[in-house]
Amino acid sequence: QVRLVESGGGLVQAGGSLTLSCSASGVNFKIATMNWYRQTPGNQRELVATISSGGVTNYTDSLKGRFTISRNNAWNRVSLQMRGLKSEDTGAYYCHTFYYGRNFWGQGTQVAVAS
């Protein structure tokens, strides 16, 4: 059973930083492409960043330069480092993988940026 568990969310002042983590189990992590999505108030869930099994990263254009995705295959963990946070980054952040034809989501972690 694939399970994704996010952590690291919280309240931060605008301009601050947070690092989110996602621990994966029940999956051959080394071959899985891992993604971070977010859902901000009033908006649909959007892809934030992707990291392939080989470590190739992609970001939504508006977040390039502020967010960094990384993975640690020894720990089955994917992280999202967020810098220069803005109030519009407030929302729920979700870890995701598409594995053997199915979508798997974590429960989400909340990020609140105070202006």
Q: Are strands 10-13 and 109-114 parallel, antiparallel or unpaired?
A: parallel
pLDDT of 46 strictly over 90: yes
Dihedral sign, Cα of residue 12, residue 17, residue 23, residue 27: positive
Would you say residue 80 has pLDDT above 90? yes
Q: What is the pLDDT of residue 4?
A: 98
**pLDDT of 64:** 84
Please state, for a pLDDT cut of 90, what percent of the chain lies above it. 96
Kindly report the average pLDDT of the chain as a whole number.
97
Rounded mean pLDDT, 52-61: 96
How high is the pLDDT of residue 3? 97
Residue in 51, 105, 63 with CA at minimum distance from that of residue 88: 63
How far does the chain reach from its first CA to its final CA, in angstroms?
40
Check pLDDT > 90 for residue 101: yes
